[in-house]
Structure 1
Amino acid sequence: MTMATGTATAGPAVTAASALARTYLDLVASCEALNVRIASVAPEAHPDGAELTRSEKALDAFIDAEAARIREHHGHAPRRDVAASRALHGYLWSVSLLMSGPWYLERRVPRIAPQDVRIDVAAAAFEIVPGSDFACLSDDPAAGMPGVRVVAHEEALRAELRAAVADHVGPLLAAVGPRARRRPRALWGMAADDLVSGIWYLGRVLDQEDRAVQAATELLPRGIRPFPGGADFRRLAGRDGRRYPTRTRLGCCMYYTLEAAQACSTCPRICDQERLCRLEGEG
């Protein structure tokens, strides 16, 4: 699968917001797991990300909806901390990909504030109105547009992405932490995992896994505050000599508590032999 790039800024009527909207639409079309709606105006029917951090009622509804989905899909009621962790995981993965996706595809890093994201808690869907605040490199056609910030080089752009994600998710981690029964290091480990895994997923669906692994490694080559660890990919050799990329999560996503026999493939509880069995089965 390929994705159109570099065309969003053609023509005098194009704005920074419309350029970003085009990237989001392409991103959502390619990423089946990304349940995001692109809106032209902010919908008022659903709470935004900022409301989750200041309203206990909104946060409880967010967690309650996840608990209901777990009961429906897995046939049992989860612990409250598990439902909180799973709800947080879904938010972190989706919103991080809304920032890392344009970076990976277009070398642009949007700044998404918590109030820019609305959450349809019943559908586990997110709604966003594309803004015009993003960072790019000097050779980007959007560099002269209002709201667009130019940075000097690729590492500066990576720093923009790390900061954009950290600034967005920090307040939510603090709000959800007590309900998820996790301390800051574990919460930021979860944020790092979801940032890395979103890029990895995008590379796989575009048949660019090696490129995505390299990009995620360059983004988090090690722990860079507030993220406590790096992407830390490694390769596992299969029976036919193929080498599969894998990594071990820094923070548990708690899926093993829902389906004990189906822990996620990057779970610290899964040995490399089991990972290889799964990978070769998928291949």
Structure 2
Amino acid sequence: MEQREAVIDTVRRHPAVPGLADSVTRVAPLQRRTEFRPDLPGDGEWQRCADLLADPARFAAWRRALAGWLRARFGEAPGRTTAGYVMSWYLHVPAYTAALLLHHERRVPLLRPEELAFRLGGDRPHPEGIAVLGSEFYCLPADPAAGCPDATVVRDERALAAALRARYTGHAARFVAAYAPVSRLGRRMLWAAATDALDNALWWAGRQGGDEGAGVADAALVLDARYPPLTAASALRLEGRCWTRRRESCCFSYLLPGEAECAECPRLRAK
């Protein structure tokens, strides 16, 4: 990909290229559904990923809020469904952060739980805002900030993809360790969800940025094979003129009244 078009044409020829916070600020206006910011407001609505993972009982409060939302719409809120939704929604935070910055800036943040925070929506309790609080990042040799103290330069795009996988997998491992005991979901299911979150996020970053093909290419670059404990390579495929993907994990929406399995649910392949 020609070092992703010479690092996205020298980061869109922006006059102030330097650090990770600048990258987040540049990417933020491109988001339609998610607030993306480089700082943590003092309004009390935001929570650091590290705080949640250090006190897994906090997941119970999140699931209670979700249960209320589901009951208002479906009349029921099965425990496995709330566990499945929270599983996918949490993993979206590090996955989407990594995908956005890779796609738009060819940079990979460290993705430490201490350096990511999110805000839940006021109505639907899913992550509606993401804050990237760290300053260190991986980048390519052509990046204008390659000489900055916070930058770790890697040789090429494959090495950048490997850095992303490693940082994301490290964050996901802390989530799996914290969430498995309180959710009663198996570790295979949790790692399958982590795989789905990353593959989806890489695809969506391109799609929402106006270049779906580039998002698919990013997914193929990062998940060109299975990298355990992730459970699969990228599952994106072209059907007719539309891209779709096979899910590795189940969201348990089918347990809600009147709902069936998603079209790409792994339960359907097992029948």
TM-score, normalized by length of structure 2? 0.83
- Partner Cα distance (2:261, 2:98) in 1: 27
Q: How many residues align?
A: 257
Corresponding residue for residue 5 of structure 2: none
In the alignment, structure 1 segments of 5+ residues that lack a partner are: 238-242, 272-283
Matched, 1:183 2:186: yes
Q: Deviations over 1:53-107 (max 9, x none)?
A: 22143221122222222223x2323222321220121121233111111111211
Q: Deviation of residue 194 (structure 1)?
A: 0.8
| Equivalence for 2:253 | 255
**1:4 shift after superposition:** 9.6
Residues 88 and 197 in structure 2, CA contact (< 8 A), matched pair in contact too: yes
How far apart are the structure 1 equivalents of 2:50 and 2:224?
Answer: 30
2:242 partner SS:
strand
Alpha carbons of structure 1 residues 212 and 55: separation in structure 2 relative to 1, 3 Å: same
Question: Which residue number corresponds to residue 153 of structure 1?
Answer: 156
Q: Compared with structure 1, are the counterparts of its residues 270 and 230 closer, same or farther at alpha carbon in structure 2 (3 Å cutoff)?
A: same
Q: Distance in 2 between matches of 1:60 and 1:140?
A: 42
2:74–2:257: 8 Å Cα contact kept in structure 1? no
- Are the aligned partners of 1:8 and 1:22 in contact in 2 as well (CA < 8 Å)? no
1:117-136 deviation digits (Å, cap 9, x = unpaired): 33434633344144321100
* CA distance in 2 between partners of 1:170 and 1:55 (Å): 15
Residue aligned with 1:60, SS? helix
How far has the Cα of 1:171 moved from its partner?
1.2
Q: Which residue identity lines up with residue 10 of structure 1 in the other structure? A: P
What are the within-5 Å matches in structure 2 for residues 147-226 of structure 1? 147-226=150-229
2:103 maps to 104
Partner of 1:10: 15
Identity %: 27
More RCO (CA 8 Å, sep 6+)? 2
Counterparts of 1:267 and 1:257, CA distance in 2: 13
In the other structure, the counterpart of 2:90 is 91
Whether 1:61 aligns to 2:66 is no
Contact 2:107 2:139 in 1 (8 A): yes
TM-score (norm 1): 0.80
Unaligned runs of 5+ in 2: 1-7
SS state of the match for residue 66, structure 1?
Answer: helix
How much does 1:270 deviate? Answer: 6.0
Q: Which residue in 1 is equivalent to 2:146?
A: 143
2:67 is the alignment partner of 1:71 = no
- Alpha-carbon distance in 1 for matches of 2:56, 2:105: 37
* Partner SS state of residue 47, structure 1: strand
Q: Which amino acid aligns with 1:104?
A: H
1:30 correspondence with 2:35: no
Amino acid at match of 2:77: P
Q: Distance in 1 between matches of 2:242 and 2:10?
A: 28
Q: Tell whether the 8 Å contact from 2:47 to 2:119 is kept in structure 1 after alignment.
A: yes
CA distance in 2, matches of 1:226, 1:206: 29
Taking a change above 3 Å as real, the CA distance of residues 127 and 213 of structure 1, as seen in their structure-2 partners, is closer
Report the secondary structure of 1:115's partner residue. Answer: helix
d(CA) in 1 for partners of 2:24 and 2:258?
A: 40
Moved more, 50-59 or 193-202: 50-59
| Inter-partner Cα distance in structure 2 for 1:47 and 1:41 | 9
Distance 1:37 1:71, change over 3 A: farther
